[in-house]
Amino acid sequence: MEQTDKKGYRGDFPVHDEDVKAKFKYEVADMVGGEGLLRCLKCGACSGGCPVGSVIDYRPRKVLGNVLLGLKDEVLSSDQIWLCAACFTCEERCVQQVNFTDVVTVLRNMASREGNAAPGYVKMAEMVMKNGRVSTRTGLVDKMREQLGLPPLQDPAVDQLVGIMQAAGLTDVIDANKKKEVESE
Ligand code: SF4
Ligand code: SF4
C-alpha cells in the first residue's frame, strides 16, 4: 500500500508506472513561466533557503522532483503547490535559473482548471467578482487615508472587472472549483 502523509503527499517511493505521466514536465515547460523547469538539477538550494520550508513540511525541490518524474495527478491535487509565499528566495539562490516561483504559478493555474484551487484563492476571486476588491472597504480605511492625506478610494468598476474575468476564463475556473467542492461534500 502507498504511504501518504496527512496532506496526501506521497513519500518518494514506491512510484508506480500508471502514476507517471511522462509528458507532464513538457506541458509545464511549455507554459509561460515554466520554461526553466527542465534546467533543474534537483540540487536542493531552493529547499535549503525556503522560509516556508523552515517552519512547515514544504520542499520546493520535492515538488520539482515530482513534476520532473511525471506525477501529474499527485502534484496538481496536493496542497504543497499552494504553500509557496512567493518570496523569490529560491529564485535568488538557484544557479540554474529555474524560477521556481513562476513554475509554481503554472502548477497552480493547472490545478485550478481541474478544480483543485486552494479554497482561499477561490474566495478571493469571488470577492473580486462581488466587490472589485479582495477585501471589504471599511470606514476605518477611509479614515486612515484621510489622516494620511491620501485621496479617497475610488469605487472599482465591478462590471468591467467581471467582464475581464469572464474573458480570461477565470469565472469558469471558479465554477469548476465550486462544483468540485459540492461534489466532495
Ligand atoms: S530549482 Fe534550482 S535550486 Fe532548486 S533544486 Fe532545481 S536547480 Fe536546485
Ligand atoms: S518563493 Fe516560495 S518556494 Fe521559493 S523560497 Fe519563497 S516560499 Fe519558498
Long-range contacts of 84-93 (CB under 8 A, 24+ apart): 84/52, 84/58, 84/60, 85/51, 85/52, 87/51, 87/52, 89/46, 89/49, 89/50, 89/51, 90/45, 90/46, 90/47, 90/49, 90/50, 90/60, 92/49, 93/45, 93/46, 93/48, 93/49
Determine the distance from the C-alpha atom of residue 161 to the mean position of all C-alpha atoms in its chain, rounded to a whole number.
Answer: 21
List all residues whose CB is within 6 A of at least one atom of ligand 2. 46, 50-52, 60, 84-90, 100-101
Please identify, in words, the CATH class of the domain defined by 17-113.
mainly alpha
Task: Give the CB-side neighbour count of residue 174, counting CA atoms within 13 A.
Answer: 18
| Ligand 2: residue whose CA is nearest its atom 8 | 50
pLDDT by residue, tens only, the chain of 185 residues: 445 554 444 555 677 777 888 999 999 999 999 999 999 999 999 999 999 999 999 999 999 999 999 999 999 999 999 999 999 999 999 999 999 999 999 999 999 999 999 999 999 999 999 989 888 888 999 999 999 999 998 889 999 999 999 999 999 999 999 998 888 88
pTM: 0.84
Q: Where are the domains of the chain?
A: 17-113, 119-184
The amino acid at 151: P
- Ligand 2 midpoint to CA 47 (Å): 8
| Ligand 1: residue whose CA is nearest its atom 2 | 94
List all residues whose CB is within 6 A of at least one atom of ligand 1. 40-46, 60-61, 64, 93-94, 96, 98, 100
